[in-house]
Structures are given as structure tokens and as C-alpha cells.
Structure 1
Amino acid sequence: MSSVQEKKNDAVVAHDEHGHHHHPKLDAKTKAIINADAKLANPLRGVPHDRLMADVEVFAKERGLTHILPDLQKGAIVAQDPEAYNRLDMFTEEDRRVLREEVTHKWKQTGTLYYMVVMASLAAAVQGMDEAVINGAQILYPAQFGIGDSTSKRDGWLIGVINSAPYLCCATISCWLTDPLNQWLGRKKTIFLTCLISFLTCIWSGLTNTWWHLFIARFFLGFGIGPKSATVPVYAAECSPAPIRGALVMMWQMWTAFGIFIGDLIDLVFYFIPDRPGVTGLNWRLMLGSAGIPGLLVCLQVLWAPESPRWLISKGRYEEAFNELCRLRFSRVQAARDLYYIHVLLEAENEMKKGRNRFVEMFTIPRNRNAAIASWVVMFGQQFCGVNVIAYYSSNIFLQSGFNQVSALAASLGFGALNWLFALPAVFTIDTFGRRNLLLFTFPCMCICLLITGFSFWDGFEQGRVAGVSIGIYLFAVFYSPGEGPVPFTYSAEAFPLYIRDIGMSFATATTWFWNFVLSITWPSLVLAFKPQGAFGWYAAWCAILWVLILLFVRETKGKTLEELDQVFAVPARVHAAYGLRQIPYGIKKFLLFQNPVPEELYMPESDSEASSGVDEQSRREVKEDVEKA
């Protein structure tokens, strides 16, 4: 084994028979982030028992919670050490049973928690239904509004503007209202307001009689979509217990796909509704109006759901937060544990934020900048892989391939069903195969599927053309749903360090909505200019480009702790890009030549790296001291 080679401002690299192991040489700011993230990961770590009990007693007196002091003391002990209940006599058998079942029966949760999950799922379905109903309505309303000429460049742009109106609002205005709305109203009232806006604007859309009026109605729909898309996942995360938090946060994407499926089904059913005296286009009006129904259902139930305990604590409403936690958990010990833990975590976060411009630090500190680049790539890729071309325009695409209107709507329903069904396994695959590996596998497959779809339009036989387009679009849904569907929101939520995570998610969400707008507004003109073959080839090319960007800039986050993620994202971008390029011959040997090459490890945990590279105990102590000083 070779000695350690230090490269200035780069990385410490240890070479052995198993490949290259890169251990980043951390700058002072990154060390400070690691130290801070370690504190945020568990602010109670290392606090002596006597001091912990004294701190809890002071906390109870200051917050008017002395009547639950015994519960708070037990809760603080478990928050510091999750296994302490097995060793201490102060815990009853009932306490032990409940705390043990958190691990052994993690899906055994209170009815209130699952009630909250259903409500959040309906809120996600609003967005999915809107994407689908405009897909069906646009084969009907353009003719009524005088913009139905498929050969007119002007009409193509107008249809694109109408379809993309909500996402223009999301990218430019509404996403940036998320923070003030949550600060003023709280999580569930923000969800109530945005779902009410969604319901009213969907009804408004169904009552319009000109293209510009429909554009205005759909633009205001963006005020219901943008803040909701950022608030609902946060609300679910703040109410959920840690063992199932990731799975519940992923429900946003899964039930968005379910909303697309239901919207496609409604398009097919409502297509056959005839006009009434004095009402033309009743079918497409009902399609657009129906997308607001899930929002109305959310409005009718969300005010009875629990408020986010974290938000209540941030407003100093500790008694209410404890009561809500008692509704969400089985025992008072669990509620007291989460109450005190959230309190100390918020205290640590507030201490970190003093005097710091977190938005600037997201791009100036290399560790944060690497996370922002990776998040931007996966969020941009979620749109420019071409999925929403199909979600918004599949009915028109099937019409162009030779379907009649009813068959086109039925074919779109097939896409919606596959998009939802293949999103279900993502709960398991995302943590089994890893985020980066899923993307690297599925993007080439999506590229091929788009080429099949586009090239099928050259088939002179209608049956062959219809079959090719259908197969290409359906297989695209199969590969998109477990990969680029759930990965971007999950990846962005974990890539950023805790102290800038809210800002990082705002950046990520605005990114996806902006490119959603660009994609949806340009597709009609793109098809007109380059024909379906060129338009699908354009997004197939982007799938190939995105595969390269993922290979070079997206790091794997599966199964990593906060401290490990800081080390992973501290690896310089050029070092990771070189590692990605070296993976190409490895992949060729393994998957094409069926050889068994030894995989290269880009990064090893600090203890392993030090052991293999011969870093002595004195050096290890110096690194530890540097981190503590930073």
C-alpha cells in the first residue's frame, strides 16, 4: 500500500489493491459545517446526566410545563440515548413497550398520523390532477377559443402559455411566498389557504370564455400550487416519527402521480358529456373544474388535523405543541421526548443563524456549492427528461400518431396508470439501489424510449405508428416513475446541511417549477418547428446529457449520516468528476463484457481511511481540534 499523497486544496488519496480512496482535505468553513451538523444531529450528545436533568427542570419552569416535568425528564433521557429506557428503572413497562415498538413495528402509528398522511396525499393529488385535466381539455377548448389551428405558430404559443401559466406564477412569485405564509399562518393554515385557492381557481378556469381569461385563471392557480408543494412535504416531515419520515415525505411525489392517473380517468369520462342549452364546452369545463375537488376535500379536513409541533414551538406555544404531539404519538413519553428534542434543536439552529447570510453561503462554501449543483442537476433533469411533455400533451401526441379523440384520452389514461403504479416500488428501491445508481440506470432507458416514440412517427403504416408511440411512452413511464420521479425531492431534502436546508429546498423547488414552465410553454412550437421526431429527439438528447451530468456531479447519499454527507460533498468537484469518468470503463467491463472488476471507492469513512493510509493518532487529534475550533 502506498503512502498518503497530499494535494494542495484538493484531497488526500490513498491507493491500494482495491482502487482509489479519496479522503477530502477540509477547509475551515467545511469543518465548521461538519461540527455544526454534528451538533444539530443530536444537540444533547455528551451532556452529563445531572446537567441534562437541571436543564430540563429550567426548561419546564420557563415554559410553564412543570405539570409534565416527569415526562419531560424521561423524554430528554431517551432523546439523548434512544436505548436508555432499557437500563433505567424510571421507565415503566408500558413506556418500554411503546418505545421498543417504534423500531420493531415502525408502521404501527396513531390514527391521527395516518389521517394527516391522507390529507397531505390529497393535497399532492391537486397538482397531479391539474397536470392531467389540462392534457385532456386542450384537445377541446382551443377550437372554441379560436386558437385550434395546429399549423399556426401563434396558436401553438398561446396553448403553451395557457398550459404553463401556473408554473410561471410558481417560479416567479408564489414559491417565494412559502416562507412568509408559513411564518404568519403556520403549516396547516397555509395548506388550507393554498388548497382553497386551488379549488376556486379550478372552478374559475371552467367558467372562462376567452384564451386570455383562461390564462389569468390558471396563473392564479399557481398561488395554490407553489407554496403547497413546499409546505406539504415539510408538514409531513415535522409530524412524522423518524423511522418512517422519509417514506412519508416521498408520498408527495407518489400521490402527485396518483392525481395524474385520476385526472386522465376524469378526462375520459367527462369527454362524453354533451353541451347544455347556453353552455358550450361543458365537457372540458368539467375537466378543469374537477381538479379542484381534492383541494376542497383538504380544506374540509385540514383544520381538524394537528398543527406542526415544530412550528408551534418556534412560536413559543409549547403547551399546544405537547398536546398535538400527544395526538400524533401513542404515549406522553414519546410526546415529551419529541417536544424537548425539537426545542434544543431549534435553539442550536437559531444560534448558528446569527450574523450569517445563508443564501450567500449556499454558493460560496464549496461543500454547499457542490450540494446546490447536484440538486440543480436532478431538479432540472426532472423536467428536461421530457416527462411533463407527456403529462401535459400526451392526448395531442396520441392524436398526431393516428388515434381518435376518445382513444387518445384512453391511451393517456394508460400512461397515468403506469406512472402511478411504478412509483409505488420507489419507497423501497430508492434506499436499496441508491439515488445516483437509479438515475444512471434509468436515464439511458428513458432516452431510448423517447427515440422510439419520436422515430415511430416516420412509420407510414398507422397501426405501426400507433403501436410504436404507445410502447415508447408507456416504457418511458415505467423507467421514470421509480427513478427521476421520486429522487429529486428526496435528494434535495438531504443534500444540504441542516442550517441552510430550508433555503436549499426553496432553491430546488423554484428550479423545478421554472423549467416546468419552460418545457410546457415551448412544446407546441417545438413540435411545429421540428415535427414530433425532432421534438422527442431533443429531449432524448437531454436525457443523454443529463446522464453525463449525473455521472460527473451527483454524489450518492443513500445510507449516509449527516456527518458522512458533509465529507462526501466536501470532495472537490473535479475529483468527483474524474471519479465519474473512471466509472465508464468499469461499467463497460461489468455490464457489457460481464467481467468482475473491482469497484473504486471514492470516499471511505474517516476511521477506515485513516487506518488504511497510515494517518497517526497525533494527526487525528489535530483534525479533531481543528473541527472543534472551527
Structure 2
Amino acid sequence: MANEKPPFNGVKGAGPEGETDKIDVKDERSSGASSPDRLQEATLWERQRDPYLGKSERDVIVDLEGLIQRYDLHDLKDELTRGARYAYDRDDTDRLNPTEHEIHWIAKEKSPAFKDKWAQTKTMYFVACKYLYSILCGSAAIVQGMDQTAVNGAQLFYFEDFNITNSWIQGLVNGAPYLCSVLIGCWTSPVLNKYFGRRGTIWISCFVSVASGAWQGATFGTWQLFASRFVGGFAIGAKSSTTPAYAAECSPPRIRGALGSQWQMWTAFGIMLGFVASVAFYGVSAEGYSGLNWRLMLASTSVPPIIVCCMTFFAPESPRWLMSQGRYRQAFSSLCRLRHCRLHAARDLYDIHIRLMLENELKPKTAWARATQLFAVPRNRRAAQSAFFVMYMQQFCGVNVIAYYSSQIFINAGFGERQALLASMGTGIINWLFAIPGILTIDTKGRFSFYIPETSTARIGCVATGIYLFMVGYSPGMGPVPFTYSAESFPLAVRDTGMAFATATCWGFNFLLALTWPPLEEAFTSQGAFCWYAAWNLFGFVFTWFCLPETKARPLEELDAVFNIRTRDHVKYHLIKTPFIGKGHVSNDLADVAQIIEGRDMKGHV
């Protein structure tokens, strides 16, 4: 059958680089032929599920001894040996003779209790704060969100001050950061990460944000404003690619998924702060100094990145990045700060090491080879199609029309300037609040409110209600899902390249949306422009239902089978299973497809 898997007994993606689900670890790992024979027999698919497959505990210790010799870790030999043995078999901890302190934290780690799941070190709270994503990474997300919306209120004034009347130039100025992100920012991130690390890349991107924000507040012409905003896009591209990876690489497996999904929530918080800044500085003026209010709105975006720049000096570097640079001693010190006991730090050090070795074996050696494999292999191509589509729809659902132009939209609906800014701030608050709970996505409403006569007070209420309902629907759905879905879709060998393309897709269409809204609204009126994005939402609903594979509740290693299903077979299955359309009974030729999509094993169990 298409989804039949070879026998597997191991730790399914255990440790910092995968899941923590347990299966019996001993029999298949240490039985049978010699280690070279077992390693040769293990398929690549099996080794991705369990990198210890085909190895005995003695093999692990021999490998560790070579690691200790290579990186001069002799003073840590006893600790690292215990950690490697723990990584190999996490069930039989008695053989490690753990101390009372270690027994306490071993039990905490295995406990299903919610409070035990979030029992982390103070340093971990600094990097990945309890319930509130991370202090450092969350602040970086806030920087990005505030960069996006401070322009919303400021444009009400700088268009007039600089006499920017051409709608295409208005869109170009507003979308300048995202043009830079898609052309430069996303593609420089791998280089910056290689030479400066995760913390260094975050620091550089935030420093650029500080400079860009200050420059925007001091501009004296249209094209200087464009240039200052364009430079800010370098920071957005690098930061959005690096910060989630940094948090994931520092976090324990039990809370990594929860933290990863919070990037969008704190970006939404930054979006809200951008609206707050617009309201706060609206009435500020000074005699003889033109446009002080909008200059302060834009310059206020420099404040959060200053804080983040300072915080990076106190945060530990990503252990995984340090090990990729051969700095194992520093990686162990970093893990000791991030874990409650040194036994866990030693275990995670060896586990990251063995997975890095597998990744180096799998990963194509050149950028061209990685890009070719991304599109030449059908499984990868389907992952790319799915990831690029959700990134595209995140923008073309129309959300950033509200982020960039809601104040002008409210003015067109009959609001005054101050009331428009307050109403826009309401969209930011709703966007943040509804990014927190995982509620069902509602359909967008209120798109036709502009047909109500301008003299009617109902027009103002309906436009505001429609936009607020849209944000309620977007925040728990198309907001956080695309980045999480994209990160899950690509296999290990092309994950970095795939995510670079996916992120560039997101920012590229973000730029197109910012660029085209003013001329679109000018040509088709507000209701016509909104109908355009309503149509894309309808298309996205249909395409998502029939064509996108589901990744929820699937270990990353099992997604190869999901994305190996041909798109046309996926469509056929959902046509049959959709109520009022299909019969509900899958034919024999689609039986294998149904088994994979429904997540059933060989006995038919889900």
C-alpha cells in the first residue's frame, strides 16, 4: 500500500529537532547484525524518523568520544556521556544514577500537567516567555508590526506635505519596505545568520530599523521618504526569517509549537502599537516645523528596536547555530542556561549533534542544487505550491489594505481624521486580541457597505463593523497559519531554501497590495476594490478545501507520504467526501490516498 511503513522502534523525532512521541527504543536499535550492516539497511526515511536507528548504545558512546576529542571537551566527558546515553534511551533513566535534582526535572519533563509543561528556566523565559511568546523574540515581532502600521496615520499628512497626488507613487512609497524585503532582505538572511549568528542578525536588523525610523522622521522629500522606508525593508526581511528560527532552536520540544505560532500574535501587537502611535501624535504640532505629527509617528518605530538591540546582549546564542560553527563548548553553556539541569543540557547537545550530522548528509551542497531540488522533486514541488499559496492568500485576502489604508478608508466612509485614526486603532486591538484564541474563522462581511448613501449614519457603522469582523476572522486563521504551515511542509533537505522562497512570496505580494490599492480604489471605487479581494477570498476557500494537504497532528517525518499524493488525486478524494457533492464512498483506486489523508494505519485505525 502507498503509505505502508517499515517497522520502526525508536524515538520519533526526539529532542530539540523534532517531536517527543515515544515508541519502544531498544529492540530494533541494538539487535541483529553489526552496526554498519544495520545502518546500511536503514532507509533514509527511517533515519529521519529516528537518527539512532541501527546503532547500539555502545556506538553512541564511541561517536561521543570522537566528538570529545575533536572539540577538546575532556573536562565534560562524564556529563556528556550520561547525556548521550539519556538521548539514546529516555525511558530507562535509572541506569544513569540521577541525582534528586535530576529526578525532579526528569519527572517534570514527562509530566502531562500544563503547569509542568511551562516550568522553564529564567533564561528560557527571557528567550521564550511563559504564555507571551518570548520577551526577545516577541519584541522583535512587535518591531515588525509597528513598522507596518505607523504609516497608516502618517500618510494622511505626508501625502499633502510632499504633494504626492499620483496614486501609484503613493502606493510605491507605502510599499517600499516590502519591495526591499522581497528583493534583498529575505535573501541576505542566510548570509547574515552564517557569519553573525541568530542574535547578531536580530541585532543588525533592529539597528537598521532604528536608523530607518529616525530617517523617515527627518525626510524632506518624496524620494528620500521612499529611500528611508526601502532601507527599513532590509530589517523586515532578515528579522522575519531569523527570529522564529532562533526561538525554535532555543525552546524545549514541549513548548516549541506553542511559541512558534505566537510570532503573528506579537506582530499583531506591534500593529496595534503603530495605530496607537498615530492617535497619540495626531495633534502634536510646533510653530515653524512642518509635519511634526507624522514625523513622530514614523520616528516612533525606532523605539522598540532600541530595546531589542539591548536585549540581544543578555540572551544566549542558539545552541544549534553554535554547534553548526563547531563551537560545542559554548553551545553546552548556552543549553545549561536554557535547561533546568545539566543532564538535560548534555542530552540535548548530543541529540542536536546527531541530527546536524544527518542534515549535513541530506542537504544539497550548493544553493543552486537546493533550488533545483525544491522544484524538480514532485513531493517538494507540491510542498512549495501549498506553502506559496497560503503565503499569497495571507496577503491577497486583503488584510494589509486595512493595515496600511484603514484611516483613509474610514475617512472615505465619512469619519473625521481623528475618528478615523481611533477606528483604525480599534482594528489593531481586535487583530491582536483575536490572534490569541484559536477560534473558527468566519467569512468576511461588510464589503458592500459603501453602497449605502454617504449621508446615512448606517454607512459609517456598517463599514466599521465589516472591517472589524474581517479582522476577527483573519487573526486566528490566515494570520498565524501560513508561516506555521510553510515551515512544516518542506522536507529537511530543502527547508531553508523553501522558507526563503515562501517568505519572499509573502513580502512580494505584500508590496503589490500596498502599491496597487490607491490606484485600484481610484479606478473601481472602494466597493469595487473590496469586491476584488472578496473574490480572492472565495477562490482561496475553494482551493484550500480541495487542493491543500492537511499537516495538523502529523509528525514532520510522515508528511512525505502526504505530499507524495498527486494534487489531482487529492482533489478527487475531497470531491467524493464533500457533503452534497460526492457520494462519500471512496473507490478502490483511491483507497491508498484515503488511508494517507485520513491518517489511518494498516488496520484502518486513525
TM-score (norm 1): 0.84
Are 1:538 and 2:532 counterparts? Answer: yes
Whole-Å Cα distance in 1 between the matches of residues 436 and 70 of structure 2?
46
Partner of 2:153: 136
Q: CA deviation at 1:348?
A: 1.0
Whole-Å Cα distance in 2 between the matches of residues 81 and 604 of structure 1?
30
Partner of 1:305: 315
SS of residue matched to 1:565: helix
Select 1:602's aligned residue among 571, 594, 598: 594
SS of residue matched to 1:559: coil
Whole-Å Cα distance in 1 between the matches of residues 144 and 583 of structure 2?
43
Q: CA deviation at 1:211?
A: 1.1
Are 1:252 and 2:263 counterparts? Answer: yes
Please tell me whether the aligned partners of residues 401 and 457 of structure 1 are also in contact (alpha carbons under 8 angstroms): no
Q: CA deviation at 1:365?
A: 1.2
Aligned residue identity for 2:261: M
Are 1:96 and 2:87 counterparts? Answer: no
Are 1:45 and 2:62 counterparts? Answer: no
Partner of 2:138: 121
**C-alpha spacing 1:277/1:311, structure 2 compared with 1 (3 Å):** same
Structure 1 stretches of 4+ with a deviation exceeding 6 A read: 587-590
Please tell me whether the aligned partners of residues 457 and 469 of structure 1 are also in contact (alpha carbons under 8 angstroms): no
Q: CA deviation at 1:607?
A: 10
Are 1:83 and 2:91 counterparts? Answer: yes
Select 1:407's aligned residue among 416, 419, 429: 419
Q: Which structure has the higher relative contact order (CA within 8 Å, separation 6+)?
A: 1
Aligned residue identity for 2:170: I
Q: CA deviation at 1:129?
A: 0.6
Q: Alignment length, in residue pairs?
A: 551
Partner of 1:509: 503
Report Cα offsets for 1:176-234 as digits up to 9, x if no partner: 00111111111101100100000111110010111111001000111111111100001
Whole-Å Cα distance in 2 between the matches of residues 80 and 299 of structure 1?
39
Are 1:377 and 2:371 counterparts? Answer: no
Partner of 1:576: 570
Are 1:458 and 2:445 counterparts? Answer: no
Please tell me whether the aligned partners of residues 74 and 91 of structure 1 are also in contact (alpha carbons under 8 angstroms): no
Partner of 2:44: 36
Q: CA deviation at 1:46?
A: 4.0
Aligned residue identity for 1:390: I
Whole-Å Cα distance in 2 between the matches of residues 236 and 277 of structure 1?
46
Please tell me whether the aligned partners of residues 168 and 222 of structure 1 are also in contact (alpha carbons under 8 angstroms): yes
Q: CA deviation at 1:601?
A: 8.1
Please tell me whether the aligned partners of residues 163 and 520 of structure 1 are also in contact (alpha carbons under 8 angstroms): yes
Structure 1: runs of 5 or more not aligned = 5-10, 14-31, 150-154, 430-437, 591-598, 614-630
SS of residue matched to 2:595: coil
Whole-Å Cα distance in 1 between the matches of residues 141 and 225 of structure 2?
23
Partner of 2:289: 279
Report Cα offsets for 1:497-543 as digits up to 9, x if no partner: 11211111101100000000000000000000000010000000000
Whole-Å Cα distance in 2 between the matches of residues 587 and 403 of structure 1?
45
Partner of 2:195: 184
Whole-Å Cα distance in 1 between the matches of residues 60 and 422 of structure 2?
63
Aligned residue identity for 2:499: M
Please tell me whether the aligned partners of residues 77 and 84 of structure 1 are also in contact (alpha carbons under 8 angstroms): no
Please tell me whether the aligned partners of residues 552 and 577 of structure 1 are also in contact (alpha carbons under 8 angstroms): yes
Aligned residue identity for 2:330: E
Whole-Å Cα distance in 2 between the matches of residues 101 and 523 of structure 1?
52
Please tell me whether the aligned partners of residues 169 and 219 of structure 1 are also in contact (alpha carbons under 8 angstroms): yes
Are 1:341 and 2:351 counterparts? Answer: yes
Partner of 2:436: 424
Are 1:363 and 2:363 counterparts? Answer: no
Whole-Å Cα distance in 2 between the matches of residues 182 and 340 of structure 1?
22
Which sits farther off after the overlay, 245-254 or 386-395?
245-254
Partner of 2:64: 56
Please tell me whether the aligned partners of residues 453 and 471 of structure 1 are also in contact (alpha carbons under 8 angstroms): no
Please tell me whether the aligned partners of residues 453 and 470 of structure 1 are also in contact (alpha carbons under 8 angstroms): no
Please tell me whether the aligned partners of residues 37 and 498 of structure 1 are also in contact (alpha carbons under 8 angstroms): no
Q: CA deviation at 1:315?
A: 0.7
**C-alpha spacing 1:537/1:561, structure 2 compared with 1 (3 Å):** same
**C-alpha spacing 1:389/1:608, structure 2 compared with 1 (3 Å):** closer
Whole-Å Cα distance in 1 between the matches of residues 364 and 278 of structure 2?
52
Q: Cα RMSD over matched residues?
A: 2.4
Which sits farther off after the overlay, 103-112 or 486-495?
103-112
Please tell me whether the aligned partners of residues 456 and 464 of structure 1 are also in contact (alpha carbons under 8 angstroms): no
TM-score (norm 2): 0.87
Whole-Å Cα distance in 2 between the matches of residues 571 and 61 of structure 1?
46
Aligned residue identity for 1:36: L
Aligned residue identity for 1:249: G
Q: CA deviation at 1:36?
A: 3.1
**C-alpha spacing 1:518/1:88, structure 2 compared with 1 (3 Å):** same
Aligned residue identity for 1:353: K
Whole-Å Cα distance in 2 between the matches of residues 188 and 281 of structure 1?
36
Q: CA deviation at 1:99?
A: 2.0
Q: CA deviation at 1:362?
A: 1.2
Select 2:217's aligned residue among 206, 231, 240: 206
Whole-Å Cα distance in 2 between the matches of residues 12 and 221 of structure 1?
47
Report Cα offsets for 1:450-495 as digits up to 9, x if no partner: xx23333433443111011001000001010000000000000111
